[in-house]
Amino acid sequence: MKTNRLYRIWVITTMSIRFFLEIWWFQQRKAKLPPRELTLQWELLLKQQAKRFKARALSLEGILIKVGQFLSTRADLLPAIFTDELSGLIDQVTPVPREAALKVLESQWQAPYTEHLLEIGTAAVASASIAVVYKAKLLDGTAVAIKIQRPRIDRIFQADFRAIRIVMKLTKRFTSWGKSLDLDRLYSELVEIVSKELDFIQEMQHAESFERNIDPALRVRVPKYYTALITRRIIVMEWIEGFLITDLQALHKHGLKPKEIVQRFAASFLQQLIVDGFFHADPHPGNIRLEADGTLVFIDFGMMGSISRAQRTSFISLISALLLQNYPLMVTALAELRFVNKVADQAQIADAMEAATNLYLSRGFQSFDEQAIQTLMTQLRSFVNGNAIQMPAEFAFLGRAAGIVSGVIATLAPDVDYLALGKEIAKPMLDKTFGNERKDVRYSIPPILLLTGKAILRLPLQLEQLLQIQIRQGELSLKQSRANGWTKYYQKKQKFTALLFVSLWLAAIGLYAFQSHEAGYAAAVSSLPFLVYYRSLDKKFERMMASPLTEQAGDLA
């Protein structure tokens, strides 16, 4: 029954509608509940939904397993009561009967399995949404893992795609957050990426590309693949003796430090993002094994994502802005990536992001009073409802991967300082990345300094715009003020500009003296616009004092 297309579409769609209605009804009632009761009711609802989803996913299998695995890794955002309930989806998927798996294997090899294998296990060692894994031995005795696709899995996924399409249409039509997402493109991305995951030959090619990008210093590797035995539905690869990356007991047993694992795992993902532009889009704990010596072994390269050169540059700007805690620059980078609408009020978004980032980094609400939290949530909802914040479909799977990585980190090191971790691993990586790309003039300056330099170079124009605005506003009140008010105003601007000019030159001298020559040169060059602007203020002041408007103000006084 579960392979019937109409049945699957009906079950997935009705379950989703029920969840939406339950959440909507809770939102209608929450104002009438006291805070403690509100929390209890919300956790109860989440637990009930997680249980129903898990039961349905285990019975239907297919794409629901992937959705549940993703949600189970979001320990950083979702309550433990929810993620704990779904965590079993990583290793509780019912395996395919051995006879059915061998039938697929021999059909793909077009020969009895004994022609290539000395033996194959009597039971599957792993079972996932697309395939099952058996331990086997080649004719020479080499231990291997054989991944065999489930029977009729392509038909099951095609039905699930139809169901997801219906759910997305309902979401777009009846929810405010659905309107802020490019769900049509998201659906296309989902179909494209998951369809590729059904082709095991392409998965092997992904693994080869991933292996070429590995930085040896991170102690990361991929299994060996046996190309001659691989088909579209069968993969044969090296057997990995390891354990889940989130198995804290195993880490302790082998003397491995969780924070050191976190550092290398996060560095690997960041490298995939900003250096390689080719990332593992499904890095849940079942796909990241740890060997006894601490080596990270990535497996299952069916779901991969790519990022263009221009997008990587914007992500570098975003990461640098986050490390600087420069929220206006962060919003600018997000706008370049189309996460922020071009017509949105970026200043308001920057303020909200600062509060949200502080809340996230603090790992709780301890430093925020109830009114501050409510204000922040109201702001964020208004941004989403007004389409100021949006989710570009091309980044949906990157967001999924980043969420999984964040969840794994939260499991290994719940008290990790994300900002400190980012600074520790990002700076050398950014320096290395920019150092390898000197042909582009943008990469001749360290990225953090580049961001600061951009902001500095924009300051004269922004000051000029501020002056023009204040002049226009001043025209309405000149009849009640003397011309010497303008004199003081321009003198203050001149002093401010001169101070910035001198400060930048002092910084340049200091940076150069401490062997940071590139930064020193950049600071010196960045000061030149202020020198030009300082000189222009004299001329503007002379013209203003000679204008009829100023003379009239003086006469009226």
Q: 109 — alpha (psi -120 to 50), left (phi > 0) or beta?
A: alpha
Residue 422 has pLDDT above 50, yes or no: yes
Say what the pLDDT of residue 185 is: 74
Say what the pLDDT of residue 226 is: 98
pLDDT one-digit tens code per residue, 140-199: 999 999 999 999 998 899 899 999 899 888 888 877 666 666 677 778 877 887 788 899
Say what the pLDDT of residue 550 is: 45
CA distances from 514 to 241, 244, 423, 507, 523 (A): 49, 45, 21, 11, 14
CA distances from 49 to 57, 169, 266, 295 (A): 12, 21, 31, 37
b/e map 528-553, b = 16+ CB within 10 Å: ebbeebbeebeebbeebeeeeebeeb
pLDDT one-digit tens code per residue, 474-513: 444 444 454 555 555 555 555 555 555 455 554 544 444 4
Q: What is the dihedral of CA 239, 243, 245, 249, to 10 degrees?
A: -170
Domain boundaries, given as residue ranges, for the chain: 5-91, 448-556
Higher-confidence residue of 273 and 76: namely 273
Say what the pLDDT of residue 528 is: 52
Between helix 258-271 and helix 418-435 the angle, nearest 10°, is 40
Structural Rg of the chain based on CA atoms:
29
Residue 338 has pLDDT above 50, yes or no: yes
pLDDT one-digit tens code per residue, 269-283: 999 988 899 999 889
pLDDT band at 440 (very low <50, low <70, confident <90, very high): very low
Please report which helix (H) or strand (E) contains residue 362, including its range. none
- Give dist(CA 409, CA 418) in Å, integer: 9
Q: What's the burial of 104, exposed, middle or buried (CB within 10 Å: 0-12/13-18/19+)?
A: buried
pTM of the predicted model, to two decimals?
A: 0.65
- Give dist(CA 426, CA 419) in Å, integer: 10
pLDDT band at 75 (very low <50, low <70, confident <90, very high): low
CA distances from 521 to 71, 442, 497, 507, 527 (A): 48, 14, 20, 10, 10
Residue 461 has pLDDT above 50, yes or no: no
pLDDT one-digit tens code per residue, 143-160: 999 999 999 998 899 899
- Give dist(CA 296, CA 298) in Å, integer: 6
Higher-confidence residue of 318 and 269: namely 269
